[in-house]
Structure 1
Amino acid sequence: MPVPALPSVADQAEKLIEIGATGPLTPELLRKEAAGLPTRPGLLVVAGLAPSAIAPLMRRAGRPGFVVGDMDDVDAFAPVTDVPDAPVWLLEAPERGDELQNASPAEAEERFAARGRVPMLLTEGVQWVLQVPEVLERNHCFMTTGSRLRKPTGRFDARTPAVWISNGTGRDGTERRDAPKVGWCWWNNRHTWLGFGSGERRST
């Protein structure tokens, strides 16, 4: 199924205001910053929103989103791709990357580079689901390789963040079945049901 289109940037701003996902920006400032973005279609992204704070604002099947229990350091996953030095930006033409299902994150990164696309940040992925919950479908979810955790040694943690749908098994708990979920997969692993989020560019 095609990914649903995003609302207008102005409507996206109102959505974030409605659910309390404006970060340090007042509603008035968010509206002003959003109005100054390019008029091209894309995802309105508010800088500085912690995944741990906005993941519970996701909704699917009447259930709130959550971060898996073994990712209590989720907010330490930082951008490894260029992001604007701005309070908001537009991630143009976001894609879920269904055609990359069963690729490893490393292979997906190569494909992004060849196509000139930018890997999606975890916070961008969560904000996308905030705006269009239908972007998450069974067997069609996505990883966000634009965010990685760097260890004190300088090497990257092998966990790679992703946004998908809970099956309500294990530590998730049956009450979370069908809820949107922030979790992780190993950098070199492949999953037939996970694509890779990306955008055409980030604009301000």
Structure 2
Amino acid sequence: MQERPPSEFDAGAEFDRQVDTLIAKGYPEAAGLDTEAFTALLAPLRATAVAHGASLRPPAPGRAPFVVVLTRALAPIEWAMSRTTLARGSKAGFVDRLYEPGAIERFVPTDATRPPDERAYLLFDVERGEEFCGAVPEDAMATIAQRGRSTLTIEEGIALVTHHPDALEKNRCFSLAGSRCGDRRVPAIWISQRAPKLGWCWAGNPHTWLGMASAARRAAA
């Protein structure tokens, strides 16, 4: 996510790029749609992205103006993770085996991170949050809330890596506290075996290589 002058950021072109990425990775088939129907499903979001384009910060390392998010209603979590890669690598992402059978389904958005649409929406002003590397996750969550921002869900973290593989770097990975299952586990995406991995850590345990991803707002069409 190399920074560019705001005048060069074209929200419409960026939206089209992200839709093309999803199509190339097989998301229409995962959603049970053909390419035309899939494109039509996402098309209304384009106007929302363009309408906010002038006010968006341009892309920068660790930051994206917006990402198109598909929920697990369209693409199962484990399948979506398998379509992620690092910026410099081709190994497919995966889910940590420490998630016991059925655990992924129990990690759902909190009241504060509930999606504005059950299938697809936009997440604006996304940051991977490397400033929180080494911080206790609970403290990072509190700081993000004080700033009026929101932690990311599992689906949103996968979307960030899908559309911006360079958001995931060595020692600059991120937790996804917007999805919880009622205990003290906090989902996170980091690099393992030279591929993205969806794992979890404890809410009270800091990790020097895990920040806390956040966003300014969510919007449906």
Shorter-chain TM-score: which interval? Answer: 0.7 to 0.9
The alignment of Structure 1 onto Structure 2 pairs a total of residues equal to 186
- Aligned: 1:161 with 2:187: yes
Please report the TM-score for the alignment, with normalisation by the length of structure 2: 0.78
Give the structure with the larger helix fraction.
Answer: 2
Equivalent residue, structure 1, for 2:79: 53
Query: Could you tell me how far apart the structure 1 residues matched to 2:158 and 2:79 are?
Result: 10
Equivalent residue, structure 2, for 1:172: none
Query: Could you tell me how far apart the structure 1 residues matched to 2:2 and 2:82 are?
Result: 22
Equivalent residue, structure 1, for 2:176: 144
Query: Could you tell me how far apart the structure 1 residues matched to 2:94 and 2:23 are?
Result: 20
Work out which of the residue numbers 11, 23, 32 in structure 1 matches 2:17. Answer: 11
Query: Could you tell me how far apart the structure 2 residues matched to 1:21 and 1:37 are?
Result: 21
Equivalent residue, structure 1, for 2:94: 66
Query: Could you tell me how far apart the structure 1 residues matched to 2:47 and 2:108 are?
Result: 26
Aligned-pair CA distance for 1:103:
1.4
**Cα deviation 1:23-59 (Å, max 9, x = unaligned):** 3553232342332433233111123333212001111
- Aligned: 1:111 with 2:135: no
- Aligned: 1:199 with 2:205: no
Query: Could you tell me how far apart the structure 2 residues matched to 1:75 and 1:53 are?
Result: 13
In the alignment, structure 1 segments of 5+ residues that lack a partner are: 150-155, 167-176
The 3-state SS of whatever aligns with 2:123 is strand
Aligned-pair CA distance for 1:158:
1.8
In the alignment, structure 2 segments of 5+ residues that lack a partner are: 4-10, 54-64
Q: 1:31 to 1:83 in 2, by over 3 A?
A: closer
Are the equivalent residues in 1 in contact too, given 2:42–2:120 (CA < 8 A)? no
Query: Could you tell me how far apart the structure 2 residues matched to 1:101 and 1:15 are?
Result: 29
Equivalent residue, structure 2, for 1:42: 66
Work out which of the residue numbers 110, 113, 116 in structure 2 matches 1:84. Answer: 116
Aligned-pair CA distance for 1:13:
1.0
The 3-state SS of whatever aligns with 2:27 is coil
Letter matched to residue 78 of structure 1? V
Please report the TM-score for the alignment, with normalisation by the length of structure 1: 0.84
126-135 vs 13-22, greater mean Cα deviation: 13-22
Query: Could you tell me how far apart the structure 1 residues matched to 2:104 and 2:115 are?
Result: 18
Are the equivalent residues in 1 in contact too, given 2:19–2:39 (CA < 8 A)? no
The 3-state SS of whatever aligns with 1:188 is coil
Letter matched to residue 44 of structure 1? V
Are the equivalent residues in 2 in contact too, given 1:96–1:198 (CA < 8 A)? yes
- Matched-pair identity in %: 34
